Amino acid sequence: AAEEGFDVEDVEGAIEAAGHGPLPVLAIIGRPNVGKSTLVNRIIGRREAVVEDKPGVTRDRVTYEAEWAGRRFKVVDTGGWEQDVLGIDASVAAQAEYAIDAADAVVFVVDAKVGATDTDEAVVRLLRKAGKPVVLCANKVDGPSGEADAAYLWSLGLGEPHPVSALHGRGTGDMLDAVLEALPDAPAQTFGGGVGGPRRIALIGRPNVGKSSLLNKVANEERVVVDEVAGTTRDPVDELIELGGITWKFVDTAGIRKRVHLQQGADYYASLRTAAAVEKAEVAVILIDASESISVQDQRIVTMAVEAGRAIVVAFNKWDTLDEERRYYLEREIETELGQVAWAPRVNVSALTGRHMEKLVPAIETALAGWETRVPTGRLNAFLGELVASHPHPIRGGKQPRILFGTQAGTKPPRFVLFASGFIEHGYRRFVERRLREQFGFEGTPIHISVRVRE
Ligand code: GDP
Ligand code: GDP
Protein backbone atom coordinates (compact mmCIF):
# COMPACT_ATOMS: atom_id res chain seq x y z
CA ALA A 1 0.00 0.00 0.00
CA ALA A 2 2.70 2.46 1.01
CA GLU A 3 4.64 2.19 -2.26
CA GLU A 4 1.43 2.89 -4.20
CA GLY A 5 1.09 6.19 -2.36
CA PHE A 6 -1.58 5.17 0.13
CA ASP A 7 -1.26 5.79 3.80
CA VAL A 8 -1.50 2.49 5.71
CA GLU A 9 -4.01 3.90 8.17
CA ASP A 10 -6.10 5.20 5.33
CA VAL A 11 -6.18 1.75 3.75
CA GLU A 12 -7.10 0.07 7.00
CA GLY A 13 -9.81 2.64 7.66
CA ALA A 14 -11.32 2.13 4.21
CA ILE A 15 -11.36 -1.63 4.66
CA GLU A 16 -12.99 -1.35 8.04
CA ALA A 17 -15.62 1.09 6.79
CA ALA A 18 -16.51 -1.14 3.85
CA GLY A 19 -16.39 -4.36 5.76
CA HIS A 20 -19.15 -3.73 8.24
CA GLY A 21 -21.47 -6.67 8.68
CA PRO A 22 -25.23 -6.45 8.73
CA LEU A 23 -26.36 -3.33 10.59
CA PRO A 24 -28.58 -3.32 13.68
CA VAL A 25 -32.13 -2.21 13.07
CA LEU A 26 -33.96 0.58 14.88
CA ALA A 27 -37.74 0.83 14.49
CA ILE A 28 -39.58 4.10 15.02
CA ILE A 29 -43.13 3.40 16.16
CA GLY A 30 -46.06 5.33 17.56
CA ARG A 31 -49.52 6.61 16.75
CA PRO A 32 -50.16 8.56 13.56
CA ASN A 33 -49.14 12.24 13.67
CA VAL A 34 -46.86 12.03 16.68
CA GLY A 35 -43.94 12.95 14.42
CA LYS A 36 -42.36 9.63 13.44
CA SER A 37 -41.51 10.62 9.87
CA THR A 38 -40.22 13.98 11.01
CA LEU A 39 -37.97 12.18 13.47
CA VAL A 40 -36.75 9.73 10.82
CA ASN A 41 -35.84 12.68 8.60
CA ARG A 42 -33.95 14.21 11.48
CA ILE A 43 -32.08 10.97 12.18
CA ILE A 44 -31.10 10.22 8.61
CA GLY A 45 -30.35 13.90 7.99
CA ARG A 46 -32.08 13.92 4.66
CA ARG A 47 -35.40 14.99 3.29
CA GLU A 48 -35.94 11.60 1.73
CA ALA A 49 -38.68 10.29 3.96
CA VAL A 50 -40.89 13.17 3.00
CA VAL A 51 -43.61 14.04 5.47
CA GLU A 52 -46.78 13.63 3.50
CA ASP A 53 -49.60 16.05 4.06
CA LYS A 54 -51.89 14.01 1.88
CA PRO A 55 -53.32 11.01 3.70
CA GLY A 56 -53.32 7.69 1.90
CA VAL A 57 -50.18 8.36 -0.09
CA THR A 58 -48.27 5.14 -0.25
CA ARG A 59 -44.59 5.09 0.30
CA ASP A 60 -42.71 1.98 -0.58
CA ARG A 61 -39.45 2.86 1.02
CA VAL A 62 -39.41 2.09 4.71
CA THR A 63 -35.81 1.41 5.69
CA TYR A 64 -32.97 3.91 5.65
CA GLU A 65 -29.34 3.86 6.68
CA ALA A 66 -28.31 6.25 9.42
CA GLU A 67 -25.19 7.14 11.35
CA TRP A 68 -24.72 8.74 14.75
CA ALA A 69 -21.44 9.25 16.60
CA GLY A 70 -19.67 7.06 14.04
CA ARG A 71 -22.04 4.12 14.38
CA ARG A 72 -24.20 2.95 11.54
CA PHE A 73 -27.62 1.39 11.81
CA LYS A 74 -30.83 0.98 9.88
CA VAL A 75 -34.00 2.88 10.61
CA VAL A 76 -37.44 1.46 9.87
CA ASP A 77 -39.96 4.23 9.37
CA THR A 78 -43.55 3.26 10.05
CA GLY A 79 -44.81 6.78 9.45
CA GLY A 80 -46.47 6.03 6.12
CA TRP A 81 -49.36 4.36 7.85
CA GLU A 82 -52.84 5.22 6.74
CA GLN A 83 -54.71 5.57 9.97
CA ASP A 84 -58.27 4.74 9.12
CA VAL A 85 -57.61 1.52 7.27
CA LEU A 86 -58.14 -0.85 10.14
CA GLY A 87 -59.19 1.52 12.86
CA ILE A 88 -56.56 3.25 14.84
CA ASP A 89 -55.81 0.66 17.51
CA ALA A 90 -55.65 -2.27 15.14
CA SER A 91 -53.48 -0.47 12.64
CA VAL A 92 -51.03 0.88 15.19
CA ALA A 93 -50.83 -2.56 16.76
CA ALA A 94 -50.27 -4.34 13.45
CA GLN A 95 -47.66 -1.83 12.40
CA ALA A 96 -45.91 -2.07 15.74
CA GLU A 97 -45.99 -5.87 15.61
CA TYR A 98 -44.06 -6.00 12.34
CA ALA A 99 -41.67 -3.23 13.17
CA ILE A 100 -40.83 -4.47 16.67
CA ASP A 101 -40.36 -7.96 15.37
CA ALA A 102 -37.75 -6.88 12.83
CA ALA A 103 -35.97 -4.47 15.16
CA ASP A 104 -33.06 -4.74 17.56
CA ALA A 105 -34.24 -1.66 19.44
CA VAL A 106 -37.31 0.57 19.29
CA VAL A 107 -37.93 4.28 19.60
CA PHE A 108 -41.48 4.75 20.84
CA VAL A 109 -42.67 8.22 19.92
CA VAL A 110 -45.39 9.89 21.99
CA ASP A 111 -46.80 13.36 21.43
CA ALA A 112 -45.91 15.08 24.72
CA LYS A 113 -48.43 17.84 24.07
CA VAL A 114 -51.23 15.27 23.94
CA GLY A 115 -49.89 12.95 26.63
CA ALA A 116 -50.30 9.18 26.82
CA THR A 117 -53.47 7.90 25.17
CA ASP A 118 -55.13 4.48 25.42
CA THR A 119 -53.52 3.56 22.13
CA ASP A 120 -50.13 4.46 23.55
CA GLU A 121 -50.84 2.22 26.54
CA ALA A 122 -51.72 -0.63 24.19
CA VAL A 123 -48.41 -0.20 22.39
CA VAL A 124 -46.60 -0.26 25.74
CA ARG A 125 -48.13 -3.69 26.41
CA LEU A 126 -46.87 -4.92 23.03
CA LEU A 127 -43.43 -3.55 23.80
CA ARG A 128 -43.35 -5.27 27.18
CA LYS A 129 -44.25 -8.56 25.58
CA ALA A 130 -41.57 -8.21 22.91
CA GLY A 131 -38.87 -7.45 25.45
CA LYS A 132 -36.76 -5.37 23.04
CA PRO A 133 -34.87 -2.32 24.33
CA VAL A 134 -37.05 0.79 24.10
CA VAL A 135 -36.15 4.48 24.05
CA LEU A 136 -39.12 6.68 24.89
CA CYS A 137 -39.27 9.82 22.77
CA ALA A 138 -41.48 12.62 24.13
CA ASN A 139 -41.89 14.56 20.91
CA LYS A 140 -43.07 18.08 20.15
CA VAL A 141 -41.21 19.54 23.11
CA ASP A 142 -40.19 22.59 21.08
CA GLY A 143 -38.98 24.65 24.05
CA PRO A 144 -38.21 24.47 27.78
CA SER A 145 -41.87 25.02 28.68
CA GLY A 146 -42.70 21.62 27.22
CA GLU A 147 -40.35 19.72 29.51
CA ALA A 148 -43.06 19.29 32.14
CA ASP A 149 -45.30 17.56 29.56
CA ALA A 150 -42.50 15.14 28.84
CA ALA A 151 -42.10 14.31 32.53
CA TYR A 152 -45.70 13.08 32.68
CA LEU A 153 -44.69 10.23 30.38
CA TRP A 154 -42.78 8.55 33.18
CA SER A 155 -46.21 7.09 33.90
CA LEU A 156 -45.87 4.78 30.89
CA GLY A 157 -43.33 2.78 32.84
CA LEU A 158 -40.78 2.72 30.01
CA GLY A 159 -38.15 4.66 31.90
CA GLU A 160 -36.94 8.14 31.17
CA PRO A 161 -38.89 10.10 28.56
CA HIS A 162 -36.47 11.93 26.27
CA PRO A 163 -37.85 15.39 25.47
CA VAL A 164 -37.37 15.99 21.76
CA SER A 165 -38.43 18.36 19.05
CA ALA A 166 -38.16 16.31 15.89
CA LEU A 167 -39.14 19.40 13.97
CA HIS A 168 -36.37 21.67 15.29
CA GLY A 169 -33.82 19.09 16.37
CA ARG A 170 -33.96 19.98 20.03
CA GLY A 171 -32.92 17.04 22.24
CA THR A 172 -32.44 14.59 19.37
CA GLY A 173 -28.72 14.23 20.07
CA ASP A 174 -29.29 13.11 23.66
CA MET A 175 -32.00 10.76 22.51
CA LEU A 176 -29.70 9.24 19.87
CA ASP A 177 -27.02 8.71 22.50
CA ALA A 178 -29.59 6.67 24.42
CA VAL A 179 -30.45 4.80 21.20
CA LEU A 180 -26.81 3.84 20.67
CA GLU A 181 -26.67 2.46 24.19
CA ALA A 182 -29.78 0.39 23.51
CA LEU A 183 -28.67 -0.90 20.11
CA PRO A 184 -26.47 -3.99 19.93
CA ASP A 185 -23.38 -3.71 17.69
CA ALA A 186 -24.77 -6.25 15.28
CA PRO A 187 -28.24 -7.61 14.64
CA ALA A 188 -29.32 -10.14 17.26
CA GLN A 189 -29.99 -12.55 14.44
CA THR A 190 -26.43 -13.64 13.88
CA PHE A 191 -25.97 -14.50 10.28
CA GLY A 192 -25.23 -18.06 9.40
CA GLY A 193 -26.91 -19.08 12.63
CA GLY A 194 -23.76 -18.85 14.68
CA VAL A 195 -25.23 -21.37 17.12
CA GLY A 196 -26.18 -23.81 14.39
CA GLY A 197 -29.73 -22.47 14.06
CA PRO A 198 -31.66 -22.88 10.83
CA ARG A 199 -31.03 -20.46 8.01
CA ARG A 200 -33.64 -17.82 7.46
CA ILE A 201 -35.69 -17.44 4.29
CA ALA A 202 -38.02 -14.57 3.44
CA LEU A 203 -40.63 -15.57 0.89
CA ILE A 204 -41.61 -12.29 -0.72
CA GLY A 205 -43.57 -11.03 -3.69
CA ARG A 206 -46.53 -8.84 -4.47
CA PRO A 207 -50.04 -9.91 -3.46
CA ASN A 208 -51.49 -12.92 -5.32
CA VAL A 209 -48.27 -14.23 -6.80
CA GLY A 210 -48.81 -17.41 -4.76
CA LYS A 211 -46.78 -16.97 -1.56
CA SER A 212 -49.27 -18.62 0.75
CA SER A 213 -49.93 -21.39 -1.79
CA LEU A 214 -46.21 -22.08 -2.03
CA LEU A 215 -45.80 -22.04 1.71
CA ASN A 216 -48.69 -24.45 2.14
CA LYS A 217 -47.27 -26.70 -0.55
CA VAL A 218 -43.85 -26.97 1.03
CA ALA A 219 -45.26 -27.16 4.56
CA ASN A 220 -47.78 -29.88 3.69
CA GLU A 221 -45.64 -32.08 1.54
CA GLU A 222 -42.62 -31.91 3.73
CA ARG A 223 -42.58 -32.44 7.42
CA VAL A 224 -43.34 -29.26 9.31
CA VAL A 225 -41.03 -29.09 12.25
CA VAL A 226 -43.21 -28.28 15.18
CA ASP A 227 -40.84 -29.26 17.93
CA GLU A 228 -38.18 -26.99 19.12
CA VAL A 229 -34.91 -27.27 17.34
CA ALA A 230 -31.80 -26.95 19.46
CA GLY A 231 -30.49 -23.44 19.63
CA THR A 232 -33.56 -21.68 18.31
CA THR A 233 -36.25 -19.73 19.97
CA ARG A 234 -39.52 -20.09 18.19
CA ASP A 235 -41.07 -16.93 17.04
CA PRO A 236 -44.78 -17.20 16.38
CA VAL A 237 -44.52 -15.42 13.06
CA ASP A 238 -41.72 -17.65 11.84
CA GLU A 239 -42.11 -21.23 10.80
CA LEU A 240 -39.63 -24.07 10.74
CA ILE A 241 -40.01 -26.20 7.66
CA GLU A 242 -37.92 -29.16 6.60
CA LEU A 243 -37.04 -29.08 2.94
CA GLY A 244 -34.59 -31.29 1.14
CA GLY A 245 -33.53 -32.82 4.44
CA ILE A 246 -32.65 -29.46 5.96
CA THR A 247 -34.61 -27.38 8.45
CA TRP A 248 -35.19 -23.80 7.33
CA LYS A 249 -36.79 -20.92 9.10
CA PHE A 250 -39.35 -19.15 6.93
CA VAL A 251 -39.61 -15.72 8.52
CA ASP A 252 -42.83 -13.78 8.97
CA THR A 253 -45.06 -16.50 7.64
CA ALA A 254 -47.91 -15.16 9.77
CA GLY A 255 -47.91 -12.14 7.49
CA ILE A 256 -48.24 -14.42 4.50
CA ARG A 257 -50.92 -16.64 5.97
CA LYS A 258 -52.94 -13.83 7.48
CA ARG A 259 -53.52 -12.47 4.00
CA VAL A 260 -54.97 -9.19 5.04
CA HIS A 261 -56.74 -7.73 2.09
CA LEU A 262 -57.12 -4.04 2.50
CA GLN A 263 -58.35 -1.53 0.06
CA GLN A 264 -56.48 1.51 1.24
CA GLY A 265 -52.96 1.43 2.51
CA ALA A 266 -52.52 -2.16 1.44
CA ASP A 267 -49.41 -1.37 -0.56
CA TYR A 268 -47.78 0.32 2.35
CA TYR A 269 -48.72 -2.53 4.66
CA ALA A 270 -47.24 -5.01 2.19
CA SER A 271 -44.05 -2.94 1.86
CA LEU A 272 -43.53 -2.76 5.59
CA ARG A 273 -44.11 -6.48 5.94
CA THR A 274 -41.72 -7.23 3.10
CA ALA A 275 -39.02 -4.93 4.47
CA ALA A 276 -39.34 -6.48 7.93
CA ALA A 277 -39.10 -10.01 6.53
CA VAL A 278 -36.10 -9.13 4.38
CA GLU A 279 -34.30 -7.60 7.36
CA LYS A 280 -34.77 -10.80 9.33
CA ALA A 281 -33.72 -13.14 6.55
CA GLU A 282 -30.45 -14.24 5.03
CA VAL A 283 -31.93 -15.22 1.71
CA ALA A 284 -34.95 -13.80 -0.08
CA VAL A 285 -36.97 -16.03 -2.37
CA ILE A 286 -38.73 -13.55 -4.64
CA LEU A 287 -41.88 -14.99 -6.09
CA ILE A 288 -43.10 -13.61 -9.41
CA ASP A 289 -46.35 -14.51 -11.16
CA ALA A 290 -45.09 -15.78 -14.50
CA SER A 291 -48.56 -15.62 -16.02
CA GLU A 292 -48.62 -11.84 -15.80
CA SER A 293 -46.32 -9.12 -17.06
CA ILE A 294 -43.48 -8.30 -14.71
CA SER A 295 -44.61 -5.12 -12.95
CA VAL A 296 -43.05 -2.10 -11.33
CA GLN A 297 -44.16 -3.54 -8.01
CA ASP A 298 -42.19 -6.75 -8.71
CA GLN A 299 -39.17 -4.61 -9.49
CA ARG A 300 -39.52 -2.62 -6.27
CA ILE A 301 -39.51 -5.81 -4.27
CA VAL A 302 -36.40 -6.97 -6.10
CA THR A 303 -34.73 -3.62 -5.39
CA MET A 304 -35.61 -3.88 -1.72
CA ALA A 305 -33.91 -7.27 -1.41
CA VAL A 306 -30.87 -6.13 -3.42
CA GLU A 307 -30.45 -2.96 -1.37
CA ALA A 308 -30.77 -4.94 1.85
CA GLY A 309 -27.84 -7.02 0.60
CA ARG A 310 -29.54 -10.39 0.88
CA ALA A 311 -28.89 -13.58 -1.06
CA ILE A 312 -31.59 -13.84 -3.73
CA VAL A 313 -33.45 -16.57 -5.61
CA VAL A 314 -36.07 -15.65 -8.19
CA ALA A 315 -38.96 -18.11 -8.49
CA PHE A 316 -41.44 -17.81 -11.34
CA ASN A 317 -44.72 -19.26 -10.13
CA LYS A 318 -47.89 -20.46 -11.88
CA TRP A 319 -45.75 -22.14 -14.51
CA ASP A 320 -48.65 -24.58 -15.08
CA THR A 321 -50.63 -21.80 -16.78
CA LEU A 322 -48.02 -20.76 -19.32
CA ASP A 323 -48.44 -21.36 -23.03
CA GLU A 324 -45.67 -21.07 -25.55
CA GLU A 325 -46.40 -17.47 -26.41
CA ARG A 326 -46.34 -16.32 -22.78
CA ARG A 327 -43.11 -18.21 -22.23
CA TYR A 328 -41.55 -16.33 -25.12
CA TYR A 329 -42.61 -12.93 -23.82
CA LEU A 330 -41.64 -13.78 -20.27
CA GLU A 331 -38.05 -14.41 -21.34
CA ARG A 332 -37.95 -11.01 -23.08
CA GLU A 333 -39.41 -9.34 -19.97
CA ILE A 334 -36.88 -10.99 -17.72
CA GLU A 335 -34.09 -9.60 -19.88
CA THR A 336 -35.42 -6.06 -19.88
CA GLU A 337 -37.07 -5.81 -16.44
CA LEU A 338 -34.98 -7.99 -14.17
CA GLY A 339 -31.47 -7.08 -15.29
CA GLN A 340 -30.57 -5.98 -11.78
CA VAL A 341 -30.73 -9.62 -10.60
CA ALA A 342 -29.44 -11.32 -13.74
CA TRP A 343 -27.03 -13.13 -11.39
CA ALA A 344 -29.75 -14.72 -9.26
CA PRO A 345 -30.55 -18.44 -9.56
CA ARG A 346 -33.92 -18.93 -11.16
CA VAL A 347 -36.55 -21.63 -10.71
CA ASN A 348 -39.80 -22.08 -12.61
CA VAL A 349 -42.34 -23.52 -10.23
CA SER A 350 -46.01 -24.20 -9.71
CA ALA A 351 -47.35 -24.03 -6.18
CA LEU A 352 -50.48 -25.68 -7.58
CA THR A 353 -48.94 -28.80 -9.10
CA GLY A 354 -45.73 -28.89 -7.11
CA ARG A 355 -43.65 -28.57 -10.26
CA HIS A 356 -39.92 -28.11 -9.57
CA MET A 357 -40.34 -27.67 -5.83
CA GLU A 358 -37.26 -29.85 -5.44
CA LYS A 359 -35.19 -27.24 -7.27
CA LEU A 360 -35.86 -24.61 -4.65
CA VAL A 361 -33.38 -25.87 -2.07
CA PRO A 362 -30.40 -26.21 -4.43
CA ALA A 363 -31.09 -22.67 -5.70
CA ILE A 364 -31.22 -21.32 -2.13
CA GLU A 365 -27.99 -23.10 -1.26
CA THR A 366 -26.28 -21.72 -4.34
CA ALA A 367 -27.33 -18.18 -3.44
CA LEU A 368 -26.17 -18.53 0.16
CA ALA A 369 -22.83 -19.91 -1.01
CA GLY A 370 -22.36 -16.91 -3.30
CA TRP A 371 -23.33 -14.60 -0.47
CA GLU A 372 -20.61 -16.06 1.75
CA THR A 373 -17.84 -16.28 -0.84
CA ARG A 374 -14.51 -14.83 0.18
CA VAL A 375 -11.79 -14.22 -2.39
CA PRO A 376 -8.28 -14.37 -0.97
CA THR A 377 -6.41 -11.09 -1.42
CA GLY A 378 -3.65 -12.71 -3.47
CA ARG A 379 -6.08 -14.15 -6.00
CA LEU A 380 -8.05 -10.93 -6.15
CA ASN A 381 -4.95 -8.88 -6.93
CA ALA A 382 -3.71 -11.32 -9.55
CA PHE A 383 -7.12 -10.96 -11.19
CA LEU A 384 -7.12 -7.15 -10.89
CA GLY A 385 -3.57 -6.93 -12.30
CA GLU A 386 -4.51 -8.91 -15.39
CA LEU A 387 -7.76 -7.01 -15.83
CA VAL A 388 -6.12 -3.60 -15.65
CA ALA A 389 -3.37 -4.65 -18.06
CA SER A 390 -5.75 -6.10 -20.65
CA HIS A 391 -8.58 -3.57 -20.25
CA PRO A 392 -7.22 -0.27 -18.96
CA HIS A 393 -9.54 2.51 -17.85
CA PRO A 394 -10.16 5.08 -20.61
CA ILE A 395 -7.88 8.12 -20.52
CA ARG A 396 -9.55 11.22 -19.07
CA GLY A 397 -8.04 14.69 -19.21
CA GLY A 398 -4.72 13.26 -20.30
CA LYS A 399 -4.57 10.93 -17.31
CA GLN A 400 -5.28 7.28 -16.94
CA PRO A 401 -6.84 6.29 -13.64
CA ARG A 402 -5.71 2.83 -12.58
CA ILE A 403 -6.93 0.35 -10.04
CA LEU A 404 -3.78 -0.30 -8.02
CA PHE A 405 -4.90 -3.03 -5.66
CA GLY A 406 -7.93 -4.27 -3.79
CA THR A 407 -9.21 -6.43 -1.03
CA GLN A 408 -12.45 -8.08 0.03
CA ALA A 409 -13.50 -6.33 3.21
CA GLY A 410 -16.47 -8.49 4.08
CA THR A 411 -19.03 -11.12 3.14
CA LYS A 412 -22.83 -11.55 3.37
CA PRO A 413 -22.86 -9.94 0.87
CA PRO A 414 -19.29 -9.74 -0.52
CA ARG A 415 -17.85 -6.24 -0.16
CA PHE A 416 -14.75 -5.06 -1.98
CA VAL A 417 -12.59 -2.01 -1.63
CA LEU A 418 -10.49 -1.02 -4.62
CA PHE A 419 -7.68 1.50 -4.34
CA ALA A 420 -7.13 3.66 -7.40
CA SER A 421 -4.88 6.41 -8.68
CA GLY A 422 -7.80 8.49 -9.94
CA PHE A 423 -11.57 8.62 -10.32
CA ILE A 424 -12.95 5.35 -11.65
CA GLU A 425 -15.99 5.85 -13.85
CA HIS A 426 -19.28 4.13 -13.22
CA GLY A 427 -19.09 2.16 -16.46
CA TYR A 428 -15.67 0.78 -15.56
CA ARG A 429 -16.87 -0.19 -12.08
CA ARG A 430 -19.67 -2.16 -13.66
CA PHE A 431 -17.20 -3.78 -16.00
CA VAL A 432 -15.05 -4.79 -13.01
CA GLU A 433 -18.12 -6.20 -11.27
CA ARG A 434 -19.05 -8.24 -14.35
CA ARG A 435 -15.55 -9.66 -14.57
CA LEU A 436 -15.45 -10.41 -10.85
CA ARG A 437 -18.65 -12.40 -11.27
CA GLU A 438 -17.30 -14.25 -14.30
CA GLN A 439 -14.15 -15.15 -12.43
CA PHE A 440 -15.40 -15.93 -8.92
CA GLY A 441 -19.10 -16.80 -9.22
CA PHE A 442 -21.12 -14.81 -6.68
CA GLU A 443 -24.25 -16.43 -8.01
CA GLY A 444 -27.32 -15.21 -6.16
CA THR A 445 -25.70 -12.34 -4.31
CA PRO A 446 -25.38 -8.61 -4.71
CA ILE A 447 -21.78 -7.43 -4.43
CA HIS A 448 -20.61 -4.06 -3.16
CA ILE A 449 -17.60 -2.32 -4.63
CA SER A 450 -16.26 0.88 -3.16
CA VAL A 451 -13.33 2.75 -4.64
CA ARG A 452 -10.79 4.74 -2.69
CA VAL A 453 -8.80 7.31 -4.65
CA ARG A 454 -5.26 8.29 -3.75
CA GLU A 455 -5.05 11.93 -2.63
P1 GDP B 1 -46.17 10.57 11.83
O2 GDP B 1 -47.54 10.33 11.31
O3 GDP B 1 -46.00 10.03 13.21
O4 GDP B 1 -45.08 10.11 10.89
O5 GDP B 1 -46.02 12.16 12.01
P6 GDP B 1 -45.33 13.25 11.06
O7 GDP B 1 -43.85 13.17 11.13
O8 GDP B 1 -45.97 13.17 9.73
O9 GDP B 1 -45.75 14.58 11.82
C10 GDP B 1 -47.10 14.94 12.04
C11 GDP B 1 -47.22 16.44 12.21
O12 GDP B 1 -46.56 16.83 13.42
C13 GDP B 1 -46.55 17.22 11.10
O14 GDP B 1 -47.36 18.33 10.80
C15 GDP B 1 -45.23 17.64 11.70
O16 GDP B 1 -44.74 18.84 11.16
C17 GDP B 1 -45.60 17.84 13.16
N18 GDP B 1 -44.44 17.63 14.05
C19 GDP B 1 -43.57 16.59 14.03
N20 GDP B 1 -42.61 16.75 14.98
C21 GDP B 1 -42.88 17.91 15.61
C22 GDP B 1 -42.23 18.64 16.67
O23 GDP B 1 -41.22 18.24 17.22
N24 GDP B 1 -42.81 19.81 17.06
C25 GDP B 1 -43.95 20.28 16.47
N26 GDP B 1 -44.42 21.44 16.91
N27 GDP B 1 -44.57 19.65 15.47
C28 GDP B 1 -44.04 18.47 15.02
P1 GDP C 1 -50.27 -14.61 -2.14
O2 GDP C 1 -51.16 -13.42 -2.05
O3 GDP C 1 -48.97 -14.27 -2.78
O4 GDP C 1 -50.12 -15.38 -0.87
O5 GDP C 1 -50.99 -15.58 -3.22
P6 GDP C 1 -51.91 -16.88 -2.98
O7 GDP C 1 -51.11 -18.04 -2.56
O8 GDP C 1 -53.08 -16.50 -2.17
O9 GDP C 1 -52.38 -17.16 -4.48
C10 GDP C 1 -53.18 -16.25 -5.22
C11 GDP C 1 -54.00 -17.02 -6.24
O12 GDP C 1 -53.14 -17.67 -7.18
C13 GDP C 1 -54.84 -18.13 -5.61
O14 GDP C 1 -56.07 -18.17 -6.27
C15 GDP C 1 -54.03 -19.40 -5.88
O16 GDP C 1 -54.85 -20.54 -5.99
C17 GDP C 1 -53.41 -19.07 -7.22
N18 GDP C 1 -52.13 -19.78 -7.42
C19 GDP C 1 -51.06 -19.79 -6.58
N20 GDP C 1 -50.06 -20.53 -7.09
C21 GDP C 1 -50.51 -21.00 -8.29
C22 GDP C 1 -49.90 -21.82 -9.31
O23 GDP C 1 -48.77 -22.27 -9.23
N24 GDP C 1 -50.67 -22.06 -10.41
C25 GDP C 1 -51.94 -21.56 -10.55
N26 GDP C 1 -52.59 -21.86 -11.65
N27 GDP C 1 -52.51 -20.79 -9.62
C28 GDP C 1 -51.82 -20.52 -8.49
Residue 238 pLDDT: 80
Task: Check pocket membership of 317 for ligand 2, CB cut-off 6 A.
Answer: yes
CB-based burial, 142-181: b 16+ in 10 Å, e otherwise: beeebeebbeebeebebeebbbbbbeeebbbeebbebbbe
Q: pLDDT truncated to tens, each residue of the chain (455 aa)?
A: 666 777 777 777 777 777 666 788 899 998 888 999 899 989 988 644 444 433 334 444 577 888 898 888 988 877 655 544 456 666 667 777 778 877 899 999 999 999 999 889 988 988 998 889 999 999 999 999 999 999 999 999 999 999 999 999 999 999 999 999 999 876 665 443 344 578 999 999 988 899 988 988 888 755 444 444 433 334 457 888 888 888 898 987 766 665 444 444 556 667 778 888 898 899 999 999 999 999 998 999 999 999 999 999 999 999 999 999 999 999 999 999 999 999 999 999 999 999 999 999 999 999 999 999 999 999 999 999 999 999 999 998 889 999 999 999 999 999 999 999 999 999 999 999 999 999 999 999 999 999 988 87
Q: Which ligand is nearest to the CA of 292?
A: 2
Residue 45 pLDDT: 81
Task: Check pocket membership of 142 for ligand 1, CB cut-off 6 A.
Answer: yes
Residue 87 pLDDT: 60
Residue 53 pLDDT: 39
Q: Which amino acid appears at position 446 of this protein?
A: P
* Residue 370 annotated as lining a ligand binding site: no
Residue 130 pLDDT: 86
Distance 454 CA to ligand 2 centre (A): 54
* Residue 355 annotated as lining a ligand binding site: no
* Residue 216 annotated as lining a ligand binding site: no
Task: Check pocket membership of 49 for ligand 1, CB cut-off 6 A.
Answer: no
Give Cβ neighbours of residue 90 (< 8 Å, ≥ 6 apart). none
Q: How far apart are the first and last CA of the chain?
A: 13
**Is there a contact between 301 and 340 (Cβ–Cβ < 8 Å)?**
no
Residue 77 pLDDT: 79
Query: How far is the CA of 220 from the CAs of 7, 64, 216, 224, in angstroms?
Result: 59, 37, 6, 7
**Which residue has a Cα nearest atom 17 of ligand 2?**
210
Mutate to test the pocket of ligand 1, among 28, 51, 75, 137 (most ligand atoms within 8 A of CB): 51
DSSP code per residue over 174-193: HHHHHHHHHS-SS-SS-TT-
Residue 257 pLDDT: 61
Distance 296 CA to ligand 2 centre (A): 19
**Is there a contact between 312 and 446 (Cβ–Cβ < 8 Å)?**
yes
Distance 93 CA to ligand 1 centre (A): 20
CB-based burial, 67-78: b 16+ in 10 Å, e otherwise: ebeeeebbbbbb
**Which residue has a Cα nearest atom 6 of ligand 1?**
35
Residue 58 pLDDT: 40
**Is there a contact between 134 and 182 (Cβ–Cβ < 8 Å)?**
yes
**Is there a contact between 275 and 62 (Cβ–Cβ < 8 Å)?**
yes
**Which residue has a Cα nearest atom 15 of ligand 2?**
210
pLDDT digits (tens, 9 = 90+) for 307-349: 999 999 999 999 999 999 999 999 999 999 999 999 999 999 9
Task: Check pocket membership of 209 for ligand 2, CB cut-off 6 A.
Answer: yes
Q: Which of 43, 77, 42 is nearest to 63 (CA)?
A: 77
Residue 276 pLDDT: 83
Task: Check pocket membership of 38 for ligand 1, CB cut-off 6 A.
Answer: yes
**Is there a contact between 229 and 197 (Cβ–Cβ < 8 Å)?**
yes
User: Would you say the C-alpha torsion 319, 325, 326, 329 has a positive or negative sign?
Assistant: positive
**Is there a contact between 40 and 75 (Cβ–Cβ < 8 Å)?**
yes
Residue 110 pLDDT: 96
pLDDT digits (tens, 9 = 90+) for 427-453: 999 999 999 999 999 999 999 999 988
Residue 37 pLDDT: 86
**Is there a contact between 414 and 448 (Cβ–Cβ < 8 Å)?**
yes
Query: How far is the CA of 225 from the CAs of 197, 263, 269, 361, in angstroms?
Result: 13, 35, 29, 17
Task: Check pocket membership of 37 for ligand 1, CB cut-off 6 A.
Answer: yes
